[in-house]
Structure formats: C-alpha cells, structure tokens
Amino acid sequence: MMTLNAGPDPKSAAPASTTNGTKNSAKKPVKSGADAPLEAVRQLLDNHRSERQLVLLQDFPDPDALSSAWAYKLIAAAYDIECDIFYAGTLSHQENIALVRLTGLPARRWPTAASDQPDLSTYQGYVLIDTQGTTSQLSAVVKKAQIPLLLVIDHHSPQGKLQAEYIDLRPDIRATATILTQYLQRGLLTLDRSNTKHTKCATALMHGLRADTNQLMHAAEDDFMAAAYLSQFYDGQLLSAVLQAARSKRVMDVIERSLRNRKVQNNVSIAGVGYLRYDDRDAIPQAADFLATEENVHTAVVYGIVHDEDQEREVVIGSLRTSKITLDPDEFIKEAFGQDNQGRFFGGGRSMAGGFEIPVGFLSGSYENTEYNRIKWDVFDIQIKQKLWRLVDPEEGMINTD
C-alpha cells in the first residue's frame, strides 16, 4: 500500500499492495517518485482502464466531497472508467441541495430498498473521497461484497488503518477539492472553458474549496494556488446562485434552539438541540457556525440526536467550530469521545472544524411517551457535556488535550 500522509511532494512511498485477489493483482505496480501522488494516481487509473468503480462519500456529503467526487469521475472517464457516486445519508444543507440541482452534479443517495440498489458484482473496485470510510454506512456494504478498495483521497487526519492500492492523504491541505484540482493542473484532465460540464465542475470545486477554508480565510498556499487555477474556468454567476440559497425555517429553528440552550464557559459555547429529523442533520453545523460568532467565544460545539426512520436508527451528531489557532479539532474530538470497540474514532476534524457521530445503539427509537424521550435526551446530553467540559481547564481558561 502506498501512503501519502503529509506534503504534496513526498520523496518516497512504499510499494503498492495488490493482494485483493482480483484480476488487477497482476497489473503493473504503482510507481513512486518525486511527484508520487500524480504519478501514482495516473498509474492506478491506467491499471484499471475500462472498469467500473463505486465512488463513496460520507453519509452527509459537503461541497468539498461532492465536487471532488465529480472531478474524479471526469478524470476517470478519460481512462474509460465508469464511476457511480453514492452517499448513504441525505443532502439537507440548502447550499448542497442547490449545488447538486444547479450543476447537475452526478451524486446519488444509496437506495434503501434492496430491489433498487445497484448490482455490486458489476463493480471492480471502490474509491473513498473526502472520507476514510469511518463516516460512511456504505463501507460495510462494499466490504461484505468483497469489492477491493482501490484509492483513498482525503485531507483529514488519519482515522485508522486502510488497505488500498494507493492512499493520497494530506492533512496539511485544507480541502480535498485542492488535491483534485492539483490532479487537473498537472495534466490528469485538461479543462475546457467551452465544455459546460467542465465549467460546472470547476464551479463546484471552487465552492468546495471555499467552504472548507472558511471562504479562503484558513487556506494554505496550495489552496490559494488551486483557487487561482479554478478562477480560469468557474462560473461566477452560478456560484453566486448556489451561495444565495435560503435557509429553511427548520434550520432557523435549530439555530434558535442552540442559542437558547447554549452554555458558555472559558470562551467555549456548548449546546444540545434535542431530537432532529434525518433531513435536518445539516442544521447542526450551521448552528455551530452561528454560535462561534458570539463575542468572547472562540469555540462552539452543537449536537443533537438525529432519527433516521428509513434505517430505524438514531445517532448523536455534533459539529465543532473554532477560531482558536492552538486548538486542534481532530485531537479535541478524538480525546473527548474516543473509539468504538473496533478501534474506529467517533469523530475527527480538520483546521478550525470537526464533527462526531455516536450511534445511540440499543436505546434507538422514537416513542409516544414524551417523558421517556425527554429522559433519554437528558442522559445523552449530560454525558456529552461531561466529556466536553472535562477538556476545558477552568483554571487556565483554555482547552487541554494533553
């Protein structure tokens, strides 16, 4: 397995693992070199010409994930590789919905009915983009079907061990869209201004890059260079239309609930918002964004219990936003909530932002008894607050993850 853990231009990498038992195990190994990521991905695509791949995103994909997957699909098409992009959750953030509708971005929700699901035997491999599989319910589906993991492209910190033909993992870069844009810059696909699909994809990548860098305020050099390249191809009016999507009343209600329930200590604001519908999940990060703008608050955490009626499951979902340079969201969330019994972290983060998902498990389920539902929420609310507050040092007035 070749792994790139830091920096855009590593000097070396380990040999590629091809022990998946498929027909590709006899193909040429991925080469390493000074330009390892580009050449490795190019070689991998060449090795898998004329195949069919699944591209999997986190359950609730953001603009960075959606745009990066589309860029990969276009790049793969140049190698006669057919890609289908799927996510298991839903699109609920108004900008994500607008992005998909206005650009025709080819990402689909995994069908809940078995009869509507694609035939997995037709796929020769799958690719993880902007995720390492820990935030996707579909990881278990493809593993059960014994579909080999070919490629992982992500900018988040490592979430666990992965076995793939190649892993392009770069936590020093602020957005996965930047990595995909570098692939385009360096010749994996030449964008054409007269090609409407290319223009729309460039617009989506610009939106994804801006979204994950807080409108470029937290961008690194590579992100700025990627944005400069995309500026030659993106449609400014289309991007404006995506950004002007209005918040729904339900999102505003969740933000109001977070304001009402917030507790502030040592410049950290924490708010539980109770139960949410599955389709309103993206109201949580929007509420965290809003609370982080309060005077004398540098970090905000918002969480709630999200109920998925289709899957008959509940999960505690939370988002962290911070302007504190010395706070590492990835370390903070991993320290606060730890791992499950399989060693997978319940959450993680990137620069200035993070998130977590904790299955409710045995206690899942909505009941007509409102008192029971209130007691269940109180238990989770208190437990989460305890795990978060214990990392806030009341004497020093700072968050401690040592």
pLDDT band at 399 (very low <50, low <70, confident <90, very high): low
In CATH, what number is assigned to the domain containing residue 319? 3.10.310
User: Are 317 and 379 found together in one domain?
Assistant: yes
User: Are 227 and 305 found together in one domain?
Assistant: no
- In sign, the C-alpha dihedral spanning 193, 36, 177, 109 is positive
pLDDT at 400 over 70: no
User: Are 26 and 100 found together in one domain?
Assistant: yes
Q: Give pLDDT, residue 1.
A: 44
Q: Give pLDDT, residue 232.
A: 96
Mean of the pLDDT values across residues 79-89? 96
Last residue of a domain, one of 214, 243, 272: 243
Q: Give pLDDT, residue 349.
A: 74
pLDDT at 52 over 90: yes
pLDDT band at 6 (very low <50, low <70, confident <90, very high): very low
In CATH, what number is assigned to the domain containing residue 192? 3.90.1640.10
Last residue of a domain, one of 208, 243, 278: 243
pLDDT at 125 over 80: yes
Q: What is the CA radius of gyration of the chain?
A: 21
Percentage of the chain beyond pLDDT 90 is 58
Range of the structural domain that residue 163 is part of:
2-243
User: Are 260 and 317 found together in one domain?
Assistant: yes
Q: Give pLDDT, residue 345.
A: 83
User: Are 286 and 140 found together in one domain?
Assistant: no
Tokens of 322: 């911070």
* Predicted TM-score of the model (pTM): 0.69
Mean of the pLDDT values across residues 5-26? 38
Mean of the pLDDT values across residues 56-84? 96
User: Are 151 and 283 found together in one domain?
Assistant: no
- In sign, the C-alpha dihedral spanning 343, 356, 165, 106 is positive
What is the domain count for the chain? 2
Residues with Cβ within 8 Å of residue 37, at least 6 apart in sequence: 4, 8, 10, 168, 170, 179, 182
Q: Using an 8 Å Cβ cutoff, are 184 and 75 in contact?
A: yes
pLDDT at 25 over 70: no
pLDDT band at 311 (very low <50, low <70, confident <90, very high): low
User: Are 19 and 142 found together in one domain?
Assistant: yes
User: Are 229 and 255 found together in one domain?
Assistant: no
Last residue of a domain, one of 209, 243, 277: 243
Q: Give pLDDT, residue 310.
A: 65
Mean of the pLDDT values across residues 86-115? 90
User: Are 264 and 181 found together in one domain?
Assistant: no
Structure confidence by residue, pLDDT tens digits, 148-198: 999 999 998 888 788 899 999 998 899 999 999 999 999 999 999 999 999
Q: Using an 8 Å Cβ cutoff, are 306 and 279 in contact?
A: no
User: Are 274 and 333 found together in one domain?
Assistant: yes
Mean of the pLDDT values across residues 71-83? 98
Structure confidence by residue, pLDDT tens digits, 360-398: 888 887 666 788 888 999 999 999 999 999 887 655 444
Residues with Cβ within 8 Å of residue 222, at least 6 apart in sequence: 8, 172, 173, 178, 182
Would you say how long the chain is, in residues?
Answer: 402
Query: Which residue in the block uniquely carries the two structure tokens 């944005």?
Result: 227
CA distances from 393 to 59, 266, 288, 331 (A): 34, 8, 21, 16
Secondary structure letter of residue 376 according to DSSP: H
Q: What rounded mean pLDDT belongs to the chain?
A: 86
Q: Give pLDDT, residue 153.
A: 97
User: Are 234 and 142 found together in one domain?
Assistant: yes
User: Are 35 and 96 found together in one domain?
Assistant: yes
Q: Give pLDDT, residue 277.
A: 86
If one counts every other C-beta atom within 10 angstroms of the C-beta of residue 115, the result is 5
More confident residue, 31 or 55: 55
pLDDT at 312 over 80: no
Structure confidence by residue, pLDDT tens digits, 334-346: 999 988 887 788 8
Q: Give pLDDT, residue 3.
A: 44
